[in-house]
């Protein structure tokens, strides 16, 4: 059985003190042992951004890929080896900006993996520019007179794209974070967990204080997670910030529908070369 300490990396996070991403990292380290998942069976894939440094801070297999490209890589990993728990992570600029095309198709494709977007509603790594989820009128370095664009709503995008598991959490509420991540990882299909993860250095609007005062857990208020219209309603409400599991369905994941990869994922294919040729190849690339 794995323990939390098994997931500690020797590399310590370089995030600013108080950054919301610490909460997500702590949550993941709690979740895997409670689900009986061992570190060597997890692949963490990221794009580019402050939050995308996370694969270096957790002791699992990891890939830090290109800006907005975590999902093509993560889906390929899962198709090549169905037995891995595949978790892609990144920020709102990475996933909802440059990577949003990949996100839409990943959601409708429904490969069995989890995508956690640490959404701080700003570009942190590049020192505070307007992101796809920044609020209308928000003043940042790139919009000194106020953001003229409507923010993207990741939840309605997901619901409209056929995503089979749609959730939102705040990294400062650990009990909810752990519960939702467990359900997302357990879910047989593509799970999106939009995660409010405050950037304490550059976003002075969407702060820890703001979320502590404004979020409510809809799963404690009788929300029906099988009702997609109710999920849309919760995702667009303006009287408070709804969090929790918004929607989940049990449609077949891609692997179940695609018989060839189900019968023999890439990891089980015979290489058709000798062990000494394999050793030479490994030595060449490692």
Residue 156: closest CA among 107, 205, 121, 113 = 107
- Shortest distance, position 88 Cβ to ligand SF4, whole Å: 18
Toward ligand SF4, which CB reaches closer, 96 or 202? 202
Residue 176: CB atoms within 10 A of its CB come to 22
- Shortest distance, position 131 Cβ to ligand SF4, whole Å: 11
- Shortest distance, position 127 Cβ to ligand SF4, whole Å: 7
Which two structure tokens, joined as six digits, stand for 19?
Answer: 């950054």
Toward ligand SF4, which CB reaches closer, 7 or 202? 202
In angstroms, the CA 1 to CA 135 distance is: 44
Residue 241: CB atoms within 10 A of its CB come to 16
- Shortest distance, position 201 Cβ to ligand SF4, whole Å: 4
Residue 62: closest CA among 37, 80, 83, 88 = 88
In angstroms, the CA 172 to CA 166 distance is: 19
Which residue is listed with tokens 């993560």?
74
Toward ligand SF4, which CB reaches closer, 16 or 100? 16
- Shortest distance, position 197 Cβ to ligand SF4, whole Å: 7
- Shortest distance, position 17 Cβ to ligand SF4, whole Å: 8
Toward ligand SF4, which CB reaches closer, 20 or 189? 20
Toward ligand SF4, which CB reaches closer, 114 or 120? 120
Sequential DSSP letters for 56-120: GGBSSEEEE--TT-HHHHHHHHHHH-TTSEEEEEEEHIIIIIITHHHHHHHHHHT-SEEEEEEE-
Query: Where do contacts with ligand SF4 occur on this chain (CB under 6 A)?
Result: 15-16, 19, 21, 50, 120, 124-125, 199-202
Residue 165: CB atoms within 10 A of its CB come to 28
Toward ligand SF4, which CB reaches closer, 44 or 120? 120
């Amino acid at each position: 059985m794995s323990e939390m300490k098994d997931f500690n990396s020797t590399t310590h996070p370089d995030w600013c003190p108080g950054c919301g991403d610490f909460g997500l990292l702590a949550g993941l380290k709690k979740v895997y042992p409670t689900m009986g998942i061992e570190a060597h069976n997890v692949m963490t894939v990221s794009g580019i951004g402050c939050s995308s440094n996370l694969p270096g801070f957790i002791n699992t297999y990891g890939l830090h890929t290109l800006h907005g490209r975590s999902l093509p890589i993560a889906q390929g990993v899962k198709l090549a080896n169905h037995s891995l728990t595949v978790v892609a992570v990144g920020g709102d600029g990475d996933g909802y900006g440059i990577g949003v095309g990949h996100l839409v198709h990943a959601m409708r494709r429904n490969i069995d993996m989890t995508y956690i977007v640490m959404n701080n509603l700003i570009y942190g790594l590049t020192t505070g520019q307007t992101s796809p989820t920044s609020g209308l009128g928000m003043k940042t370095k790139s919009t000194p007179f106020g953001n003229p664009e409507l923010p993207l709503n990741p939840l309605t995008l997901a619901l409209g794209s056929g995503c089979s598991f749609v959730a939102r959490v705040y990294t400062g509420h650990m009990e909810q974070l752990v519960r939702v991540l467990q359900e997302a990882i357990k879910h047989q299909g593509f799970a999106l967990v939009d995660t409010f993860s405050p950037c304490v250095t550059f976003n002075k609007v969407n702060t820890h204080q703001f979320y502590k005062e404004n979020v409510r857990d809809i799963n404690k208020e009788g929300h029906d997670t099988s009702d997609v219209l109710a999920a849309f309603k919760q995702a667009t409400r303006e009287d408070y910030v709804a969090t929790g599991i918004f929607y989940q369905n049990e449609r077949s994941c891609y692997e179940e529908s695609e018989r060839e990869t189900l019968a023999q994922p890439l990891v089980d294919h015979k290489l058709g070369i000798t062990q000494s040729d394999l050793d030479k190849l490994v030595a060449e690339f490692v």
